Chain A
């Protein structure tokens, strides 16, 4: 066995990648060692899982990646995988001679970043550095500052254009703060928006359920990320994931307490028959100040409630997406929350024409595609982030009972598929006039939405619910709720898939990858979504994004 303890090499990445190979088969160990050496990696071999763990623990920064066989005599390879993921957060590649799908799936579920079949080829090993890089990038996003990004840019731009010193810098950058930074991060004030993203965790309904159960078991006042993590017993979950989720959850709860006034409720109801939603009636709603009862929301429809403005949208497709979203929420809980609530950066809200048919109830059903935001990387420069509401009639009925300018709006609303779905909440005015300078979180969008029905005023929407989110997002000063989203939007856009086409209203939520956005995060939103809670939103705040609304 070689001594694998070394600091990151200053060579050009990925040369010198420090690999720990774990396999009880001596022949394979020898072969892999040779193969990896040929890739110019630094190899440490070991034939026992426990030994591997102790090597890793002895020197946490001593390795960049672990490759392990699934069948080990002293410990199940999957267990090792869990340990490494939890304790060291290193990328782990599984190997096996057995390529059965169920096994591979198990590997992936336990957090393996790849699953190789034996016999393993050289070319497969050559590429393992990608996993390391990917992880670094994810971690790097946690760190505020541009250095990492710059460094990564350097890498991306091609190594041949830079000399070794640049890479050296990248390597230094890579030795970023680990979990302690996450701790610091947790302590950030809600108001802060972080431009970096954490590694994504999909806070599925089940996962969140476990989380909540753990919290309840511990006792909310005594709760802490470590305790929760232990109770949850989810192998691949890291403490930081739990910590950030907890933060959001706390925000959510505090928000719930705050929002007692029905008027302050911004109701966004999403009815989901999706079983993944814990909500009994599959309905989660954000109470608008209008206090529209959720009952208005029909099943499988997202209701955007405001002033009795509930537009039921046939969200069958949405459901499916929602389900997908829920399951695909790899981002922090914030994301989940955000998606539930338009609060998150709502970059696109699509109201289909079918909306019109629903408008009879005056319900605006917003499908929160947080589940799936088609390529929700909203780059400020690239997308206007328009929230386009089709069927504004319903919108107009929201909030102050605006007249059914929806119809008018309707014309201005287009239903587009997928990424182009936009809900024009307001005329493309800069948010300045619509929002008081309180843009904090996406939550404000809720207020914002409320206005859709009525208040477009704050949004600057008169009879046109067209909101130019891009302008909003750029205008932090104006307190436009979206202003802070700019980066968040990018982060939060749900990247997966298109909005259900039959979703009449699709609200694209920014990718929740960025924990910063969700710090204020509507964990409660998340719960609400799940449990059909109503998220109360103080309409008076509404240009302001409610910090608590973000579900990170």
Chain B
């Protein structure tokens, strides 16, 4: 059936997000929070997160254009960003954040730049995956319940 096929597709998509290390346990927490009162909770949170984190990315870009670099400022922005994306369990992105902060501490502008580029890439890639995922979910209808990873 189309629907069951759809459901399978959704599940496998979801599973691959975990398998590829893009998402972690926090995402499961979000899923568990979703209920009848908030049937689209996960999507809402992800959307909100991306909205907020994009703003923070802009801040970071601005700060990285400064010369000389203000590492304290960069670190501060990055901490905010990290806090934000940690809310949805974006693991790979979070790892880049940690790395970025280490470079800030070390005072390595080069390291910061490199890491930031990687971070943006991961951030965007994940967003695309989410978009596809949620689209399928909407297609499947509100009764769709994600299976929990074991």
Choose among A28, A38, A98, A119 the residue that contacts B33 (Cβ–Cβ < 8 A).
Answer: A38
Residue among A27, A34, A69 facing the most chain B CB atoms (10 A cut-off): A27
Contacts A25-B84, A119-B87 known; A97 to B52 CB distance under 8 Å?
A: no
Instruction: Provide the residues of chain A in CB contact with B35, threshold 8 Å.
Output: 38
Instruction: Provide the residues of chain A in CB contact with B79, threshold 8 Å.
Output: 71, 97-98
Instruction: Provide the residues of chain B in CB contact with A69, threshold 8 Å.
Output: 83
Interface residues as binary, A209-252 with B (CB distance below 8 Å gives 1, 0 otherwise): 00000000000000000000000000000000000000000000
Q: Which residue of B lies closest to A95 (CB)?
A: B83
Contact in complex: B30, A31 (CB < 8 Å): yes
Chain B nearest CB: distance from A44 CB in Å?
A: 18
Contact in complex: A122, B32 (CB < 8 Å): yes
Whether, in the assembled complex, A177 has its beta carbon less than 8 Å from a beta carbon of chain B, the answer is no
Whether, in the assembled complex, A154 has its beta carbon less than 8 Å from a beta carbon of chain B, the answer is no
How distant is the Cα of A134 from the Cα of B127 in the complex, in angstroms? Answer: 44
Contact in complex: B52, A26 (CB < 8 Å): yes
Choose among A30, A96, A119 the residue that contacts B26 (Cβ–Cβ < 8 A).
Answer: A119
Instruction: Provide the residues of chain B in CB contact with A24, threshold 8 Å.
Output: 80
Interface segment out of the listed B5-13, B38-46, B60-68: B38-46
Q: Which residue of B lies closest to A96 (CB)?
A: B83
Q: What is the interface residue range for chain B against chain A? A: 20 to 34
How distant is the Cα of A38 from the Cα of B36 in the complex, in angstroms? Answer: 12
Whether, in the assembled complex, B49 has its beta carbon less than 8 Å from a beta carbon of chain A, the answer is yes
Which of A26-54 touch B at CB < 8 Å? Answer: 26-28, 30-31, 34-35, 38
Contact in complex: B80, A27 (CB < 8 Å): no
Choose among A27, A71, A121, A122 the residue that contacts B87 (Cβ–Cβ < 8 A).
Answer: A27
Instruction: Provide the residues of chain B in CB contact with A28, threshold 8 Å.
Output: 83-84, 87
Contact in complex: A25, B52 (CB < 8 Å): yes
Contact in complex: A118, B87 (CB < 8 Å): yes
Instruction: Provide the residues of chain B in CB contact with A35, threshold 8 Å.
Output: 33
Instruction: Provide the residues of chain A in CB contact with B25, threshold 8 Å.
Output: 119
Instruction: Provide the residues of chain A in CB contact with B87, threshold 8 Å.
Output: 25, 27-28, 31, 118-119
Contact in complex: A119, B41 (CB < 8 Å): no
Whether, in the assembled complex, B14 has its beta carbon less than 8 Å from a beta carbon of chain A, the answer is no
Which residues of A are in contact with B by a Cβ distance under 8 Å?
Answer: 24-28, 30-31, 34-35, 38, 69, 71, 96-98, 118-119, 121-122
- Sample (6) of A-B pairs whose CB atoms are under 8 Å apart: A27-B45, A27-B52, A71-B76, A96-B83, A97-B82, A121-B29
Supply 16 further A-B pairs (C-beta < 8 A) apart from A27-B48, A119-B29.
A26-B48, A26-B52, A27-B45, A30-B45, A31-B30, A31-B33, A31-B45, A38-B35, A71-B80, A96-B83, A97-B79, A97-B82, A118-B83, A118-B86, A118-B87, A119-B26
